[in-house]
Structure 1
Amino acid sequence: MLNMIFFPVFSTLFFSSRYDAEATYFDEGVRSAKRKQLEEKLLQLIQPASQSVLGHVRLGTLEKFKEVFDKALNGGEGFSLASRNCTQLCMALFDEGFADAIIEQANWDTSKVRDKLRRDIDMHIASVRAAKLSEITTHYEAKLKEALSGPVEALLDGASSETWPAIRKLLRRETEAAVSGLSGALSGFDMDEQTKGSMLQNMENYARGVVEAKAREEAGRVLIRMKDRFSTLFSHDSDSIPRVWTGNEDIRAITKTARSASLKLLSVMVVTRLNDDDNDSIENTLSVALVDSANAAVKDRSITTFDPLASSTWEEVTFGHAEVLASIVYNFMLKNFYFQISMV
């Protein structure tokens, strides 16, 4: 490729020398003007080849940068350090090749070629940086989802008073591990504290979102779980042995126990309690409305009491529509109550 320039350059020098020899006896002013015209015409012929060579050097240097940059990153070198060192190396290589392709006789502005190379390198660095950050973020998000989804589902399945404290402990532990790992992975990118802090906060929000999504998913199956728990406790004794009905059992007490356990499950699953200060009276409200009120109704059907569930403004309830939910649960519990009695 360089021969495309060197040959015309030599030709320029050769023809200039011959012109000087043949025009020795010409007027100095005429000879100089004609010589200048000859050189300009020859340089015009050379310029396309020169631009082609410079473009070739630029593209070759860019490919070299991509090669050494990938090698440095795969070798464990920090992103910012690798980008800085590889850029300096390749720009120096370009300057060497660039100097060989420069024609001193031509006063061409070749700075645009170097600037274009630097922009291409910067664009490649930005593209790789975005891809690496996305890859790192996705990696830790996947680890969080795996570490949280299964255990949270298991804890909600065994709903008890310790369910949400255990979930909060799990969330805190896994979030701290993910944030710590992400922070270490970002240390090689030399990003400003605000950007880094934002990414770490997004990771914390993602972890919380995983738990909230799983809680909503499990809450959608709460009635099935309540039915299973009610049936299990109603048809089995405290030792989990199937009941043998003799007619002497206290049906009302057994039903109340099974119903209370089902409502306990409901109270755990309908509210997302991820803050240590999350205190609510939902379990007590459900118990008063669906257990105590049912017993009171049996004793005195003429008394009309205030229904604490007759509200659609329970902000704590995970999937909203508390009034509709309470109505479904209430009807479900009554049907189970009368169904179980009819089977005795």
Structure 2
Amino acid sequence: MVSILYDEVFTLYDIEVGHFDQEVRNAKRQQLLSNVLMVVHDAYDTMLMHLYSNTVKSFKTSLEQSLNEGREYVASIHLCSQSCLREFDEGCEDAAIQQSGWNANKFRKRLICNMLSEVMAKYENQITHAIANTVESLLEASERNTWALVRDVFECNTEKAISEFSDAAASFELRSSEIDSQVHHLREFARNLLMMKAREEADAGRVLKLMMDRSKQVFDNYENSMPWYKLETNLDEIERKALSKSLRILSIMAAIRYDEMPDQIENVLYSSLMDRIVLNSSLQKTPMEAVLDLLALDTWEEVSQNSTTLLKPEDSKSLWMMFIEEIKPMVTDVKSHQDARKKTRSYAAAAAGVAVTGVAAVVAGPAVVVSLGIAIFRRAIMRM
């Protein structure tokens, strides 16, 4: 439309200036063209911007409608993107000014970038929902195979998202280098998400709470499985089991293991802390200061280059010392319960002995002995 108007204007111009010198006519004609294009340039950009905005809205609306109709996401992206780009190209063609040499490439690229951002956001959300909560649960569980499970979750969901994204991105006729760049971004997003969740879980306060909860679980299991009449398990064994499980949490939280390369973090922690520090001071054979040098470092030795440190050796040492102090009341409480059960068994044994004596006395005749035995037995039962 604008091009036709241009042709009409310049046809009239050529007629009016036909008697002027050719060189002068051409120079003035070019000057007029430049002035006219300058006047309409902003209007042209505004028209394309309006067309761009409407196409973006149309894309989002049609995509939502297609998904609601039950189409798969990749198929919906292909259908809606092609339809919207075709409408955009037709609108640009109608708005084109042939005499200007302008084109709508920058607006078309911007439109594709916007559509691609919509697709990228979808797969970023997919990765977030698939990885974040699962990784958090796995790290809180802190079992021996935690990082192997985390890697499986990370790699499986990341590759799935990348594959689907690549299929969807094919709708935009991008160069392979552009798709590779987008895939790299998505992979880095997943990696950064994993690192963020791991750092959240490796917060000193959270790790300390996990260690305390794990120790309490061990002691509670021991308490609940120990009836008053059963012989006690060596409390040192229970303490060591609780410490061992808590130290495993510390070793798991110490670094992100991105690959299957083994490391010595757990061994260093065990040899430096578990094998030399115990809660019962009477059994402590090595001064605590003598074992701390092994952990007075900023980095873990013999760790894969692909690993990322979350807790430095010196931080792990400090956290363990805090844990040892925090757990002392818990151990004292368990020891008190154990002593109480021992006393209960002693009273019960004494009562049982008197009761047997009382039964024998019944046969012999003295009723007072029987009464005494029954009274002692009742007192023992009340102490249980």
Could you state the TM-score of these two structures normalised by the residue count of structure 1?
A: 0.68
Following the alignment from structure 1 to structure 2, what is the Cα–Cα distance between the partners of residues 262 and 129?
52
2:139 counterpart residue number: 156
How far residue 6 of structure 1 moved from its aligned partner, in angstroms, is: 7.7
Pairing 1:257–2:241 present: yes
Q: Is the 8 A contact 1:69 1:86 kept in 2?
A: yes
Deviations 1:43-68 (A, max 9, x none): 99xx79x959x949968974896599
Deviations 1:135-179 (A, max 9, x none): 221221111011101111111111101211111111111011110
Following the alignment from structure 1 to structure 2, what is the Cα–Cα distance between the partners of residues 336 and 159?
19
The code of the aligned residue for 1:326 comes to K
Aligned match for 2:258, one of 265, 274, 278: 274
1:318 counterpart residue number: 309
Q: Is the 8 A contact 1:156 1:218 kept in 2?
A: yes
Shift of the 245–311 alpha-carbon distance from structure 1 to 2, 3 Å rule, reads farther
Deviations 1:288-327 (A, max 9, x none): 2222112598253479855422322226573343213313
Following the alignment from structure 1 to structure 2, what is the Cα–Cα distance between the partners of residues 7 and 284?
87
Identical aligned residues as a percent: 23
Following the alignment from structure 2 to structure 1, what is the Cα–Cα distance between the partners of residues 271 and 10?
100
Pairing 1:179–2:181 present: no
How far residue 3 of structure 1 moved from its aligned partner, in angstroms, is: 10
The code of the aligned residue for 2:131 comes to L
Following the alignment from structure 1 to structure 2, what is the Cα–Cα distance between the partners of residues 323 and 61?
63
Q: Is the 8 A contact 1:68 1:86 kept in 2?
A: no
Shift of the 245–304 alpha-carbon distance from structure 1 to 2, 3 Å rule, reads farther
For structure 1, list consecutive stretches of 5 or more residues without a partner in the other structure. Answer: 17-33, 99-109
2:373 counterpart residue number: none
Shift of the 85–6 alpha-carbon distance from structure 1 to 2, 3 Å rule, reads closer
1:287 counterpart residue number: 270
Q: Is the 8 A contact 1:65 1:87 kept in 2?
A: no
Following the alignment from structure 2 to structure 1, what is the Cα–Cα distance between the partners of residues 286 and 169?
67
Shift of the 292–244 alpha-carbon distance from structure 1 to 2, 3 Å rule, reads farther
1:101 counterpart residue number: none
For structure 2, list consecutive stretches of 5 or more residues without a partner in the other structure. Answer: 64-77, 337-384
Shift of the 223–210 alpha-carbon distance from structure 1 to 2, 3 Å rule, reads same
How far residue 341 of structure 1 moved from its aligned partner, in angstroms, is: 3.1
Shift of the 341–86 alpha-carbon distance from structure 1 to 2, 3 Å rule, reads closer
Q: Is the 8 A contact 1:216 1:318 kept in 2?
A: no
1:330 counterpart residue number: 321
Q: How many residues align?
A: 296
How far residue 71 of structure 1 moved from its aligned partner, in angstroms, is: 9.1
Could you state the TM-score of these two structures normalised by the residue count of structure 2?
A: 0.62
How far residue 287 of structure 1 moved from its aligned partner, in angstroms, is: 1.7
Q: Is the 8 A contact 1:175 1:204 kept in 2?
A: yes
Shift of the 303–322 alpha-carbon distance from structure 1 to 2, 3 Å rule, reads closer
Following the alignment from structure 2 to structure 1, what is the Cα–Cα distance between the partners of residues 82 and 192?
31
Deviations 1:195-250 (A, max 9, x none): 2112112211211221121111011111111011112212322xx83656789441
2:115 counterpart residue number: 132
Deviations 1:100-159 (A, max 9, x none): xxxxxxxxxx72x3x23x2xx222212212222222212211110111011111111111
Following the alignment from structure 2 to structure 1, what is the Cα–Cα distance between the partners of residues 112 and 84?
11
Pairing 1:341–2:365 present: no
Pairing 1:235–2:223 present: no
Please tell me the root mean square deviation across aligned C-alpha atoms, in Å: 4.4
